[in-house]
Amino acid sequence: MSICAAIQMTSSPNISFNLLEAEKLIAEAVKAGAKLVALPENFAIMGDTASDNLKAKEVDGSGPIQNFLATVAKKYAVWVIGGTLPLAADDSNKARAACLVYNDKGERVGRYDKVHLFDVNVPGTNEVYRESDSIEPGAEAQVFDTPFGKLGVAVCYDLRFPEFFRTMSKKGMELLVVPSAFTAETGAAHWEILLCARAVENLCYVIAPNQGGIHLNGRKTFGHSMIIDPWGVVLDCYKTGGGFVLADIDRERLEKVRGAFPVLNHRRFFCE
């Protein structure tokens, strides 16, 4: 069995506290049988302002957050999808929102930089987000080889761009991880719908770790971290606060669904 976990947090501006909480939840998920754990977006720091996150940015390959991810992956012999953390960008006034993938030996085997940036006035609220003021976007979809299948990674706002996932599907994606910090308002409206759509249209498993709760900066995130199968069935969901969900990534079921319902083979239009 390939049991995977999506970990939910309500991260704060305190990196040390967040990492302690992340390790506690990772340890609990591993004890429950998880072989892969995925952390949410901004798991290590949810600053009061964007500048707080910038102050925490690390050079690629070195820094306390990256050391933490490598250490817990090796310590618990588990694959770790490192949500997002701020890494140095070409523009010194910005950071990359990077999701790092570590194998169960603590070796880094992949990196994805968030492509689509959340520059939005949230309808029905006074919330305004301008990620592009402090984040430099990535430019490429990434799919990695893992024991659980070919793993695609997307982050939060990426979820709204279906053509992005078709690019990953063309690269053979079987399993999709979506670390997120969906707002309470947009999450209530669209979180589950979008996740299920991505699972169904790409016939893949979706692991979606989200931030969930009221943060010290006043931001409210939706939670409802979940794992979804290729037929769009929600296998497990954790509504609010810190915790995790578990589900088995069944490769035989994936192959059976794709064989009986070969949508991916029927495509007439393809992404570049």
Annotated catalytic residues are 41, 114, 156
Token readout for 172 is 């053979």
Q: Could you give the C-alpha distances from 229 to 32, 146, 201, 247, in angstroms and in order? A: 20, 18, 12, 9
Residues with Cβ within 8 Å of 20's Cβ and at least 6 positions away in sequence, in order, are none
Residue owning tokens 């880094």 = 108
Q: Could you give the C-alpha distances from 191 to 25, 68, 157, 196, 200, in angstroms and in order? A: 23, 29, 10, 9, 14
Helix (H) or strand (E) holding 24: helix 15-31
Is 238:225 a contact under the CB 8 Å cutoff?
Answer: yes
Using CA atoms, how far apart are residues 50 and 134, in angstroms rounded to an integer?
A: 7
First to last CA, the chain: 35
CA angle 235, 238, 239 (to 5 degrees): 130
Half-sphere exposure of 87 (CA within 13 A, CB side): 21
Provide the total of helices (H) and of strands (E) in the chain, helices listed first. Answer: 7, 17
Task: List phi, psi (to 5°) of 104.
Answer: -75, 5
Of 223, 270, 233, give the one whose Cα is nearest residue 253.
233
